[in-house]
Amino acid sequence: MTAVTGLTTETSAPYNRIGMSVDDQSIVGAIRRQEERLARDPASLAFAQLADLYRKAGRAREAVALCRDGLARYPHYTTARLILAKALAADGQLAAALVELNAILEVSPKDVQCHRLAAEVHRRLGHIDDAVTHLEAATELDPGDRESRALLSLLRASASPPAAEASGLGRILSDDTFATITFGAVCLEQGCIEDAVQVFTRILRKNPDHREARERLESALRARQRRKG
């Protein structure tokens, strides 16, 4: 992918003659308009829209700074706080993102977007059971959320099933002997993505700080997404 003015282009998008995708051009134009709007009225709520555009353009730190400045004036603006959490997560500041998400859920416990993002952040931190809790909340609030339901099924499956209920492969995967990075990598290389997810999440349930297991889990989930198209 080619970086252009802080944006990334995707091969499936149409391009103009300078190599910028139509989507990138749209974001650049939207950013310019929102910047002009905010310049005309610095006290407006337009900061949240601009921050979200910055985030989508890969300018996460600018989004964070803009949200923090705006929230200092409008501390109860929940939409801006969720955008801040998204920007922090995009910048890899996962613990800080959780602080913002928890603040939202304290006052809006039925915020389904917040539960989805909290599930992602906890998963990236290696907190598999916390991720499951938020996915359960998301699917209860939105029964039509098939992606959260599928992820929930995957993460639940990594918990050790009763021996009597496990299949042959299930018994292998539930054996701690096979809960290793090497075995998970082999599963992933063979295209057994769900099995790889089970291996990496089993490792993380025992050791949430296992950095390689966290990274491999995210790689497996990205591979799953690509396979779905």
> Confidence class of residue 169 from pLDDT cuts 50, 70 and 90?
low
**What average pLDDT does the segment 211-215 reach?**
97
pLDDT of residue 22: 55
**42, part of any domain:** yes
**129, part of any domain:** yes
Same domain, 114 and 49: no
Same domain, 115 and 146: yes
Same domain, 194 and 227: yes
CB atoms near residue 229 (< 10 Å): 4
Same domain, 175 and 113: no
Same domain, 129 and 207: no
Same domain, 8 and 25: yes
Per-residue pLDDT reduced to its tens digit, 86-132:
999 999 999 999 999 999 999 999 999 999 999 999 999 999 999 99
Residue 6 reports pLDDT greater than 50 = no
Residues spanned by the domain of 181 = 159-229
Per-residue pLDDT reduced to its tens digit, 45-78:
999 999 999 999 999 999 999 999 999 999 999 9
**153, part of any domain:** yes
Q: How many domains does the chain have?
A: 3
The neighbouring-strand residues paired with 21 are 15
Same domain, 142 and 169: no
> Confidence class of residue 79 from pLDDT cuts 50, 70 and 90?
very high
pLDDT of residue 17: 44
**100, part of any domain:** no
Same domain, 163 and 151: no
**178, part of any domain:** yes
Same domain, 124 and 174: no
Same domain, 127 and 68: no
Same domain, 138 and 208: no
**99, part of any domain:** no
Mean pLDDT of the chain: 87
CATH of residue 132's domain is 1.25.40.10
Q: How far apart are CA 218 and CA 229, in angstroms?
A: 17
CATH of residue 44's domain is 1.25.40
| Position with higher pLDDT, 20 vs 115 | 115
Same domain, 75 and 6: yes
**84, part of any domain:** yes
**101, part of any domain:** no
